[in-house]
Amino acid sequence: MSSVAPFRRIAVIGLGLLGGSVARAAQAHAIAVTGYDADPEVRARARAIALADAIADSAVEAVSGADLVVLCVPVGAMGTAARAMAPGLAPGVLISDVGSSKAGVAAALAEALPGHRVIPAHPVAGTEQSGPDAGFAALFRNRWCILTPPADADPADLARLAALWEAFGARVEVMDAEHHDLVLAVTSHLPHLIAYCIVGTASDLERVTQSEVIKYSAGGFRDFTRIAASDPTMWRDVFLTNRDAVLDMLGRFNRDLADLETAIRAGDGTELFDHFTRTRAIRRSIIEMGQDDARPDFGRSDHNGKS
């Protein structure tokens, strides 16, 4: 844990899984944190579980006196959220966010907050759960946080923001927003689209019942439903704001899938075996990088496997 807090007071706008986790992490580092959410029920719940030092009843009140504002709303709501809080912003305040697409967010914030210091960010972390109760301080530990500063960003601001995420346990990378969007299109957005798709396909068959799909889900389908249980609003906005990169990656995926289909149709076992062997190496690298663990996954509710 860092002993130096790079900010004195953080305002967190949007108190879902990510906003709640930012608030919890800030509290764990003894940084004053004020929260706000546009939904009164979420504010009430956030107060009940003491998600922040204070929960404000307006965005303007929440950002008052903050030297950092972190927008944790769906990426399609960034512009609206920024305009709502703008009158309360202190001079010199740094504005950041946690959105999963970055070029669209950068444009929306630049338009909504002219003259303000803005450095968009994306902690590549999450679970399939949503809402203020889902947040926890350790969410960012050992995960990457990508900062996408505009060309004219103040290096001191960038350093302070990086220090905050490092204090939260994240490893920080800096890249431009367009490259971020391309990388995340393949590592996150396309996987989610495909998972959402197959879960829909499976639930809409005539000769296989939905109860059979659920019953026999342990054969692989189960893992897709976890991803496809993610927040619908967040993901709708990701696909709408990162459309071009997602469509680019989807086009490549479609071509590769057509090749595998051709191999199956032709009974080409060599082609299939070669493809399936190649993909094993990637898995090994991910485990070596500490982004997942090697323990086998066989339905973790049982607590009955080898340890």
Stretch that binds a second copy, among 31-39, 63-71, 87-95, 202-210 (CB under 8 A): 202-210
Residues 152-191: x/- map of binding to a second copy (CB under 8 A)?
---------------------x-----x--xxx-xxxxxx
The verdict on 1 binding a second copy (CB under 8 A) reads: no
The verdict on 285 binding a second copy (CB under 8 A) reads: yes
Annotate 151-184 with b (16+ C-beta within 10 A) or e (fewer). Answer: eebeeebbebbbbbbebbbbbbebbebeebbbbb
- The binder of a second copy chosen from 26, 31, 84, 228 (CB under 8 A): 228
Binding to a second copy (CB under 8 A): which residues in 28-87? 76
SS3 147: strand
Minimum distance between the CB of residue 145 and a second copy, rounded to whole angstroms? 11
CA pair distance 221, 299, nearest whole angstrom: 12
- The binder of a second copy chosen from 5, 83, 163, 239 (CB under 8 A): 239
Binding to a second copy (CB under 8 A): which residues in 90-129? 100, 124-129
CA pair distance 113, 125, nearest whole angstrom: 27
The verdict on 246 binding a second copy (CB under 8 A) reads: yes
Minimum distance between the CB of residue 32 and a second copy, rounded to whole angstroms? 23
**Type of residue at 273:** F
Determine contact, residues 27/5, Cβ cutoff 8 Å. Answer: no
The verdict on 8 binding a second copy (CB under 8 A) reads: no
CA pair distance 28, 36, nearest whole angstrom: 19
Minimum distance between the CB of residue 89 and a second copy, rounded to whole angstroms? 29
Place of tokens 């009164």: 40
Determine contact, residues 184/122, Cβ cutoff 8 Å. Answer: yes
Stretch that binds a second copy, among 46-54, 86-94, 110-118, 291-299 (CB under 8 A): 291-299
Residues 254-273: x/- map of binding to a second copy (CB under 8 A)?
x-xx--xx--xx-x-x--xx
Nearer to a second copy, 88 or 104 (CB): 104
Kindly give the interhelix angle for 177-184 and 243-266, rounded to the nearest 10 degrees.
30
DSSP per position, 218-258: GGTHHHHHHHTTS-HHHHHHHHHHSHHHHHHHHHHHHHHHH
Nearer to a second copy, 152 or 280 (CB): 280
CA pair distance 204, 64, nearest whole angstrom: 50
